[in-house]
Amino acid sequence: MSEKERIDESVLALFDGGEYRTAGELARAAGIGPGEVNESLRRLEEAGYVWERHPVRGIALRERPDHLVHSEVAPYLSTRSLGRSIRFFRSVESTNDSLLSPLFSGAEPGTVLVSEEQTRGRGRLDRRWETPPFRALLFSVLLGAEGGPTAAGRLTLVSGVAAAEAVRAAGGPSLAIRWPNDLVAERRKVCGILCEYKPESARLVLGVGMNVNQTVEELPAGAASLRTLSGRTFRRGPLLAAILNRLEVWVDRAEAEGFETVRAEAERQSALVGRSVTLERGEGRVEGIAVGIGRGGGLLVRTEEGTREYRSGEVIRVRPVGEE
């Protein structure tokens, strides 16, 4: 955090309940001079904070922009470890890449990195993840790396279950899990998850991109945001905290009870189970009926040859059973 950011945070911390503060009070509390108080108020105004200035009572905060800052997230966190260290960025190439960079080589598991914008947001297979600044949730979580590559597939499902639950609890739409890594509503993609395991450093990073307040014009074709689905905007800070809260609960549950609990829940919330699917894989296509989620976190597909768990691949078509 830069010195200016530190000053702005301590100024903002004094405005929790709509109260008035004098410039002198602000200067004392933040340990700065009156000139720096004014500079900080101006910087915050440019960032979207609205101040009311009263000749006698002082200054009150009337509106906060929906920016991801510590004071928008931390008060809503109830986790033991996830998000106890959160780093906020205005712009990075990719939150997954940043968290895996040498800069964070000493970071503790549970560390979260959030950005308002990504200039090279990644999907799987080097596809792009595109969102305008200040509208989406883009974050990565560093996790303990036991389990290696298969842990990544399972963790993707754990995260999907947790994120869908947090969105519902925030009064948002009901999202289904579209194996392997999407959350969808009305067949439109709302959230993409990119879990990466780096054997060199034995690090597992979970990246989540969720469309929150984008308008239809701000979304790629085939996508939806919580806003387009429910007709209202969401405060992203508390939503991020809610996702981390549920994520920790589900990670703990998976550790204590085994993957079965998560598997069953992911199956229940699946957008694919009970439908005909076409699965594209490196070695060709598989046509069959999705009948469940397997013990390895893969998709169970029944074909004429029997039922098999596929741990990788792309579902390129979904339709009701019996439809050609």
Residues that bind ligand BT5 (CB under 6 A): 94-96, 118, 121-125, 127-131, 138, 140, 181-182, 189, 192-194, 207-209, 211, 220, 223
Nearer Cβ to ligand BT5 (127/268): 127
In contact, 289 and 253? CB cutoff 8 Å: no
Least distance to ligand BT5, CB of residue 232, Å: 19
CA separation for the pair 44, 175 (Å, rounded): 35
**Amino acid, single-letter form, for residue 232:** R
Nearer Cβ to ligand BT5 (26/271): 271
Least distance to ligand BT5, CB of residue 131, Å: 5
| Residue with the CB atom nearest ligand BT5 in the bound state | 192
Alpha-carbon Rg for the chain, nearest whole angstrom, is 22
User: How crowded is residue 199: how many other Cβ atoms within 10 Å of its Cβ?
Assistant: 9
CA separation for the pair 8, 297 (Å, rounded): 44
Nearer Cβ to ligand BT5 (28/128): 128
Least distance to ligand BT5, CB of residue 192, Å: 2
Least distance to ligand BT5, CB of residue 252, Å: 23
Write the DSSP assignment of 37-102 as a string of letters.
HHHHHHHHHHTT-EEEEETTTEEEEEE------HHHHGGG---SSTTSSEEEES-BS-HHHHHHSG
Nearer Cβ to ligand BT5 (27/176): 176
Nearer Cβ to ligand BT5 (224/254): 224
Least distance to ligand BT5, CB of residue 181, Å: 5
CA separation for the pair 130, 12 (Å, rounded): 31
Q: Is the peptide bond before 180 cis (omega within 30 degrees of 0)?
A: yes
Least distance to ligand BT5, CB of residue 295, Å: 22
Nearer Cβ to ligand BT5 (182/267): 182
The number of angstroms, rounded, from the C-alpha of 251 to the middle of its chain's C-alpha atoms is: 15
The number of angstroms, rounded, from the C-alpha of 154 to the middle of its chain's C-alpha atoms is: 17
